[in-house]
């Protein structure tokens, strides 16, 4: 089993768990919990495949994703109280998922000969879109727009991938360096409560 596949499975498990926990918190029924777990884990990759025209999308051809997510959500339901207390340790899994899915996105772009900036955008979308769908379905403004440096970590990681790829490094090193870039940024950001600036303006309705 390759390093990449190990990371990919870890990422899938982490995202499925994060989706299931959000759904339980929102008091969804068991079907809703499975669906939100599924879209959180698979949403980014599905968007990547649809936008690049790689259909049927990946989880239709590689069914181990479905089984992995199914088992993960079941376990998340059984151990929900325990997981909820462990949320801080889950953060690491979530970050691994972010790093891995960023890699699959940027790699798809590079292998299709797309422009580097497009590959980076694909990496960031693949890493974050599952969470965007999760929050949209749960009727909240996606957390990545409001909190901490999240997608920015993907963008910098994807940039590292593109640079290293063009330098011509070994593939395993490429994966590890990209993942570590994303993970390190997230750890520093959360440790020191760094957040991006926002630029509020009134909506000007009173002037219309």
Pairwise CA distance, residues 156 & 174, whole Å: 14
Q: Which is nearer to its own copies, 10 or 90 (CB)?
A: 90
What is each CA distance from 175 to 1, 3, 34, 111, 132, in whole angstroms?
15, 8, 30, 15, 24
Cis geometry, peptide bond prior to residue 55 (ω within 30 degrees of 0): no
Closest CA to 153 of 107, 114, 194, 200: 194
What minimum distance in Å lies between the beta carbon of 68 and its own copies?
Answer: 12
Q: Shortest CA distance to 161 belongs to which of 185, 177, 180, 183?
A: 177
Least Cβ distance, residue 45 to its own copies (angstroms) = 12
Judged by beta carbon, residue 7 or residue 151, the one nearer its own copies is: 151
CB of 86 to its own copies, least distance (A): 9
> Which residue lies nearer to its own copies by CB, 143 or 176?
143
- Measured from the CB atom, the residue of 84 and 170 that comes closer to its own copies is 84
Q: How far is the CB of 203 from its own copies (least distance, A)?
A: 4
- 152 vs 184, which CB is nearer to its own copies? 152
Nearest approach, Cβ of residue 170 and its own copies (Å):
28
CA 112 to chain centre: 21
Task: Compute, in degrees rounded to 10, the torsion defined by CA atoms 184, 37, 33, 51.
Answer: 120
Work out whether the CA dihedral 58, 11, 162, 164 comes out positive or negative: negative
CB of 176 to its own copies, least distance (A): 25
Nearer to its own copies among residue 13 and residue 137 (C-beta) = 137
The three-state secondary structure class of 114 is coil
């Amino acid at each position: 089993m390759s390093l990449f596949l190990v990371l990919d499975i870890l990422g899938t498990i982490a995202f499925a768990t994060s989706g299931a926990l959000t759904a339980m918190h929102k008091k969804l029924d068991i079907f809703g919990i499975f669906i939100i777990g599924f879209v959180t884990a698979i949403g980014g990759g599905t968007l990547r495949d649809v936008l690049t025209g790689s259909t049927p999308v990946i989880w239709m051809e590689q069914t181990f994703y479905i089984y992995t997510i199914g088992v993960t959500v079941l376990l998340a339901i059984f151990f929900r109280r325990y997981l909820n207390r462990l949320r801080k340790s889950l953060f690491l899994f979530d970050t691994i998922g972010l790093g891995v899915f960023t890699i699959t996105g940027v790699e798809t772009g590079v292998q299709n000969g797309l422009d580097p900036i497009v590959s980076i955008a694909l990496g960031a979308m693949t890493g974050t879109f599952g969470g965007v769908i999760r929050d949209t379905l749960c009727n909240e403004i996606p957390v990545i727009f409001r909190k901490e440096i999240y997608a920015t970590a993907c963008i910098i990681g994807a940039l590292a991938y593109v640079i290293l790829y063009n330098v011509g490094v070994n593939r395993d090193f490429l994966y590890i360096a990209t993942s570590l870039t994303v993970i390190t940024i997230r750890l520093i950001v959360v440790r020191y409560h760094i957040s991006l600036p926002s630029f509020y303006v009134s909506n000007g309705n009173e002037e219309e």
